[in-house]
Each structure stands twice: as C-alpha cells, then as structure tokens.
Amino acid sequence: MDTLPTPSPAATAPGAAGTPAPGAGLDAVVEERLARLDLATKVRLLQGETNWRVFGAPDAGLRQVVTSDGPVGVRGEAWDERDVGLNLPSPTALAATWDEDLVERLGLLLAGESRRKGVDVLLAPTVNLHRSPLGGRHFECFSEDPLLTARVGSAFVRGVQAGGVAATVKHYVANDSETDRMTVDVRMDERTLREVYLAPFEHIVAAARPWAVMASYNKVDGVTLTENDLLAEPLKGEWGFDGLVMSDWTAVRSTAESARAALDLAMPGPTGPWGDALLAAVQAGEVPQDAIDEKVRRILVLAARVGALDGVAPAVPAADPAGLPLPDAPAVRAAARAAAAQGMVLVRNEGLLPLDGPALRRVAVIGPNAAQARTQGGGSATVYPPHTVAPLDGLRAALDDGVEVVHAPGVHTRDVVAYAEPPLVRDPVSGEPGVRVTYVGADGADLASEHRRFGRIGWGDPGLEHDAATARIEALVTPAVAGAWQVAAGGLGRHRLEVDGTIAVETEVVVPDGGEPDFVHFVTPPQAATTVALEAGREVRVVLHVDPLRMNGALCVAELCVEPPVPDPVAGLEEAAALAASSDVAVVVVGTTAAVESEGFDRTSLDLPGAQDELVRRVVAANPRTVVVVNAGAPVLLPWRDEVPAVLLGWFGGQEFGDALADVLLGRHEPGGRLPTTWPVAQEDCPVLSTTPVDGVLEYAEGLLVGYRAWSHQGSDGGPAPAYWFGHGLGYTTWEHTGVQVVAPDADGPSTYLRARVQVRNSGARAGRTVVQAYLSRPDSAVARPPLWLAGFAAVEAGPGEQVEVDVVLAPRAFEHWDAAAHRWVVEPGDFVLGVGASSADRPLTATVPVTG
Ligand code: BGC
C-alpha cells in the first residue's frame, strides 16, 4: 500500500477529522445562510431530492449533496455495471484484521472512490452487532463485540473523513437482524442498550467525530427510530454528536412526529412524508419552526464539511477527481489484495499450510465458489467491481506454468437463476459479449437502445427514469451443452420472456408472501423461472419484455436470467473426487449464495447450501491433503472440520479475493485474521439465535450475554462449546505469552490510561504477527456481569525466536458499567481480573487490577 495516500496525523487526531467544527467560525456562516432561506425552502431541503441526492439551495450557496452506499465500495448514483467501483472485502473480513491502521487506509481509499464518483456522503460503516449468526446483514457488520466494532468502525470513519467525505454510521440502533426490519419492536433493558448496542455508536462519536448517522427502520421500546428520543439523547445531547441524522431509506413513517424528533433529513425523495406535508404541519403549529431551523443548520454544516457550501473551505481540501486512482490501478489492487489476506482466518492447520509451491505438480481447485467466488454480500451495499479474481484464477496465476491446475465445481448450490452475463450471452445488434437493452415509450415506439454487459437494468438508470414505459432485454445464447437451460424473468412487474419467439415465461412478478414490501426488491429482485430444452451449438435469441412496477416514482429492477442446465449431482461429486485423487493437493472452496446472505431477510439455517458438506467429505476421502476455504460473510456450520487438515475462512474477500487466497495458501502472506465472531458447531448450540419477532416484538432477553460472553456463560453451566471462539486464528508461526504487568497512568509516559504491558515470544520458525487480546472479568461482583469482556487489544510482529513487548490500553470504560437506576456510568470498586492471550478462550496470562472507583 506504499504508493497510496495515508491519512495525515492532523486529519486523524481526535476531533480534527471534524474540522471545520461548528463553533469554529462556522456557526456565524451557517446562521447567515439560514437567514437567506424562507420556510418553504428550508422544509424542501429536509426531504431527499432523488434517491441519492439532497436538495441544494442556490440562494444560500448550497449545492446538492450526493450520498451513496458503502461499506465495501462506493456504487455511485447509478445502479449500472458500467459505473465500476472498488470492491473491498466484507466488513467481517475487515474486522477480522483487528488492524485499525489498515482499515483507516481503506477508508481513505473509499473517500477517493467517493470523490471520483461525485459522492459527498458515504452510507457506511454498519456498526450493528452480530447478535445472532442468522442475521441477514451479518457480513456487512463488523463483530459480535462492541469494542472491536467500535475501534474498527472509528478507524473506518477516520479514514473516510480524512479524505473529505462524510461517513454515515448506521443503523442507529438495534437493527441487528432483518426479519420484519421495518416494523420490529426491539426490547432490551437499559443497561444492555448502553453497554452493548449503543456502545459502538458512542465510542465512534467520541473517537472519530462522524459527520452523519443513519436512523434505522426498527423500533426500540415501541417507537420507530426516526421518531425516537434516542436521536436526541444520548446521541446529540449527552454525546455531543454535531453531525446530521438522516433516515434509513423510506424509514420515515410520519410527518409531525418524526419532524419533532431529532431527525434532520428524510431519505430518499422526492416523495415522502415530509415535503409539502411538513410545511403544512409547521404552518399549523404542529412542528416548531425552531426544529426546522435546527435540521437545516445540520444540513448546512454537513455541506460545509464536504465542500458543498459556497465560500466555506471544506474540512479537507478537495482532491482532483481526475488524479484519483481507478479501482483497477495497481496500488489499489495491491491494497485490496493485502487487506483480503490480512482478514483471512486460519482456524485449523495440521501442518498442511502453507503449501510448498515449488513441490506441486497438479492442484485441484474444487467447489461451487472456486471459479466464481462471492466477493461481496448482497443488498444495498452491492458495487460493480472492475473485475473479480476467483480462487481458480488466483491459484493459476500464482503457480508456475508447469503446475497443472484442474477444476470441478462438484455441486450446484444456487437456487435462483443468475442474470445473463458473458460469456453466455451476446448482444444481437453489436455481437459484443453482453445484451441489448431497448427502451420503449408508452405508445410502443422504441426510444433508445444500448449495449449492456449484464442482463440487468435498474433503479436510477437514466433511460428508464425518464420517458420509457417498458423495455426489452435481448441476447443471443449459443449453448455449449444440450439440456434443460434455466431462464427467468426477474424484478417486480409484468414480464414476458421468449426463447426464439416462443413464450417461456409470462407472468406478473409480485412481492413474495412475507417479503419485505419495497426497497429490497430493487436489490434482490424476486423472479419467475423455468427451463427450456436447448441443443448444443444451436444459437437462440432470448428476449425479456419488461413492464416494470413503479415505486416511489422509480422503476423496479428487471433482470433477464440465463444459466446452463443444473449439472447431474452424482456425476459432479464423482468428478470432483477423481480430480482430488489425481492431484497433489485439493483446495475446496465452499460458501454461501446470494439467496442466503443478503439484505432484507435473515438466514433460516447455518448449513452450507446444497451438498457442499458431502463434497468436502468426498474430496478429503479421495485426497487427505485437502484445504477447505470458506467463502461466506458470516458463520456457517463445518461438520467435517476435524476431518480435514486445514480450514481457512476467506469471507467475501473483495475483488482481489483469489490472488489474496493464493498468497495465503502459498505462504507469501500470513493469514492475518482473528475471528470477530464466535463460530458454532451446531445451530441449536447458539446461545442467541432467533431473530423472529413474537407479536411484533424481538426481545433481547439474553441481555449482556452476547457472543463469546454468552458462549462462556453457557460453558460454565456445562453447555456446548463453539467450534471456534471469538479472537481465535492461527498464523504460520507460534507464540508464547510470557508476561503481563499492569502499568498505571503516567507511570512512564504521557498515557492517561491504565495499560497491560505484555511480553510475547515468537516461538516458531517464521516471522509473524499476532493480536494480543486483553479481557476483563470480575469475580464476586455485586453486579450481574458477563463472565468476561474484551477490554483492549494490540497487534505485534516478531521474527523467529524474538521476544517483543506491547502495551494494551485499558480505557476507563472497560471498568465501568451502566447503572440503570442512576442512569449513568459507574465503577464498582474492587479487584478486576485481567486475562491476556490469543483468544477469548485462550488467556494464559492473568493479573489483578485493583480499582478504587
Ligand atoms: C439500507 C441502508 C442503505 C439504504 C440506501 C437501506 O435499505 O438499510 O443500509 O444505506 O437502503 O441504499
């Protein structure tokens, strides 16, 4: 990452990322601009202008402010594959690095991407917690632990804002699962809310001063978040958050109630419950004018920070978009590759890894995710990367020409038909790989036609947004094999799909029963599928006539989907086993699908989809030298994990996944990751599982006992242990934790914090890095507590045989608990016990920390 910009110390010092801060001369400017606006203009500013834009007000020197989704990249305003963007590893992978410097540098890269695409506000990071492994957006959140989430999230915000782009910390708060996310009423006790779910937001507000926060869809204690008092207190009051609170998309359900709350901006627009209705409510005296002024002030401050307010210098001088690296620039690719490797967690290694590259002659790369990996989760976070490197590509490139790399998918796991992509389809007009899209007016006349790479047109695409009433997506397909080809029409609306003039599908695709009403169908469109018998080598023309549904003034996504026949399951397994048997080593890449890990729904099962468990067992029986790589953003069950010599968790590894994987498998990069979340043996073992509300209420009855805290508690009662604990991960060397001393504030320097001074020795034969983790516990406490909690961590590097020392900061909050009766943080005086080691279950060093209060 040497050639990439690194955040400057000035920009990353606490508070400095927030400059210009309200108060520092900005207040007067904001008041002066506010005074130029009449009430109607002020109110207009408070509802989005488009799906992604905030209105400008030329009279006040305010230009439009543009938002776009993260967190793995920046999609930009169009949902269009031609608008490519960097695809970084999933947030679970970033958290697995436990590397704040790295995450900060990646945040800065995303700021560059934002600037390149004209985006001022990045809708990331997602700092909800991994409460249950079933949570559908688990891959998009960092961890089950509030402190790890807080520290990684702060680093992300610092990096993004050091590049002059606003980060949006989301979704505030308790949006930890997806089932009924629009309406679910989350209930928990006040202490749990403070110590677990608000904690990351509080820490990030203090440590990184984010410029925006997003209010979530759900309710807490019966009140939807866009109307909830939690926006005022603790967020804006007690914590002093001086940025803007925007709603999640379509999360505002009322006019006056939400406007009286501390919500500043209702997204998206142009229609919504604010706008004219809000103006009328203000005129009727239902919403005070002061409340409107306060919201507009925060919009002006945000605009000033990102450089959208004329005459005010932005927080960070704007980079010239032309000078920013493209997502396939070598330095960007190297950064994404190193990040993916740094996040990979080696959970088991009986000596097979790293592979001895020069000794290999034939390598079998097997599995449904080997030739086409998932590099990101689904949903609103989706970006179109410039390319993706699959594990098969990565290994082929990394191994010498003399090594034969063979591949078989083994099993078929997808249960929806993928949208048409090259090399399967050709544009019937230009002949190029891809499809032809024609936009059709209400009178049936063709308005415009264009070549597209993928058979997908989406919300925000210019042709569709304007005059078009319907559209056609057309492609030529030359089947490589004969059989029952899969075709489907995707997206809400009326569709007719023809194959060589014969109707294959004619239907209205509607929201599935129990499905989320709107937004998610733009990103995960439901589909109507069938099969058609095709001959090998005989070209057919496939046409999808699209009459899409319109929602909130925009048109739904439409997809022409085409895939080859589903392979024979028995032959698939046999082929994979035969390739493994005839190879020096087998690398099996298993994983989830878009139908399993995406936004808008939770998982129902932690099993790997399809017959992947059977595949692993067949391959390892055929060749004991088998490495299993797990390509999933969240925990899955690995029932064969003790029967294979090596298991590596690769997460959704981003666009450079395959190259990073090859680096790790061949020992060119250590697997740097440590688990940000505990992985279970069996679904029924999970101490917290259900994400299904009962009568509309999701009770967080487990209170503080989330993640490893809960696993540890259940273990002390004789309950089941997990497969892999929070914090666990192996490198290619071994470590001994040899000593710990507790160092008082100022004992030998300017630190105002208690520190755990830890000595560790690299006891192996290679240089490496390990994450020293410090946990606290409090035996004999008068207060009910989890058995342990993460109090701090620090990474160290050392050469073979080398002993190194590192200070782990133990912030005061680690010793405090929330007193729900007094509504404040307090310390229970007495002895805390510090446990230091390599994971939440491996804490060989202990020390007593007496605390007086
Ligand atoms: C998601 C947000 C996202 C927004 C805009 C919502 O459905 O929950 O995370 O930022 O859409 O795409």
The CATH number corresponding to 345-410+580-596+603-671 among 3.30.70.3270, 3.40.50.720, 3.40.50.1700, 3.30.1330.60 equals: 3.40.50.1700
CA 358 – CA 399 distance, rounded (Å): 8
Residue 15 has pLDDT above 50, yes or no: no
Tens-place pLDDT, residues 88-128: 999 999 999 999 999 999 999 999 999 999 999 999 999 99
Residues 408-457 have pLDDT tens digits of 999 999 889 999 999 999 999 999 999 999 988 889 999 889 999 999 98
SS3 558: strand
Letter string b/e over residues 255-286, b meaning 16 or more CB atoms within 10 A of that residue's CB: bbbbbebbbbbbbbbeebbbbebbbebbeeee
Classified as helix, coil or strand, 573 is: helix
Residue-wise pLDDT for 501-557, tens only, equals 999 999 888 877 766 656 566 677 889 999 999 999 999 999 999 887 765 555 678
Which letter does DSSP use for residue 724 in this model?
Answer: B
End-to-end CA distance of the chain: 44
Q: Which of 380, 459, 518, 523 is the best mutation target for the ligand 1 pocket, counting ligand atoms within 8 Å of the beta carbon and taking the most?
A: 380
Q: What is the pLDDT of residue 460?
A: 58
In percent, the amount of the chain with pLDDT more than 90 equals: 85
- Residue pair 650/644 in contact (Cβ under 8 Å)? The answer is no
User: What mean pLDDT do residues 463-467 have?
Assistant: 59
Please report where in the chains the tokens 């229609």 appear, as a residue.
271
**Given a cut of 70, is residue 19 above it in pLDDT?**
no
Class of 9-316 per CATH?
alpha beta
Query: What average pLDDT does range 251-270 have in this prediction?
Result: 97
Of 248, 265, 459, 551, best ligand 1 pocket probe by most atoms within 8 Å of the beta carbon: 248
* Ligand 1: lining residues by beta carbon, under 6 Å: 69, 123, 170, 248-249, 380, 519
Which ligand 1 atom is at minimum distance from the Cα of 123?
Answer: 10
- What value does the mean pLDDT take over residues 268-294? 97
Question: pLDDT (tens digit, 9 = 90+) per residue, 314-360?
Answer: 999 988 888 899 999 999 999 999 999 999 999 999 999 999 999 99
pLDDT value for 846 = 98
Residues with active-site annotation: 248
Between the CA of 380 and the centroid of ligand 1 the distance, in Å, is: 5
Where, residue-wise, is CATH 3.20.20.300 in the chain?
9-316
Q: For residue 212, how far is its CA from the centre of ligand 1 (angstroms)? A: 14
What confidence tens digit (pLDDT) does each residue in 378-393 have? 888 899 999 999 999 9
Kindly give the distance from the C-alpha atom of residue 184 to the centroid of ligand 1, in angstroms, as a whole number.
17
Domain covering 733-851, topology: Immunoglobulin-like (2.60.40)
Report how far residue 598's alpha carbon sits from residue 226's, in angstroms, rounded to the nearest whole number.
24
What's the pLDDT at 465? Answer: 53
For the chain, residues classed under CATH 2.60.120.380 are 425-563
Looking only at the bridges linking them, the beta strands covering 456-457 and 558-563 are antiparallel
Domain ranges in the chain with CATH number 2.60.40.10: 733-851
Confidence of residue 21 (pLDDT cuts 50, 70, 90): low
Burial bucket for residue 501 (CB in 10 Å: 0-12, 13-18, 19+): exposed
Which of 519, 522, 557, 598 for mutating ligand 1's site (highest number of atoms within 8 Å of CB)?
519
What is 425-563's CATH number, 2.60.40.10, 3.40.50.970, 2.60.120.380, 3.40.640.10? 2.60.120.380
d(CA 95, CA 793): 13
pTM over 0.85: yes
Note whether 726 and 678 are within 8 A (CB).
yes
In 3D, which of 416, 437, 426 has the Cα closest to residue 545?
437
> DSSP secondary-structure letter at 301?
H
Give the residue, 196 or 598, on which the prediction is more confident. Answer: 196
Which residues make up the CATH 3.40.50.1700 domain(s) of the chain? 345-410+580-596+603-671
> Percent of the chain having pLDDT more than 70?
94
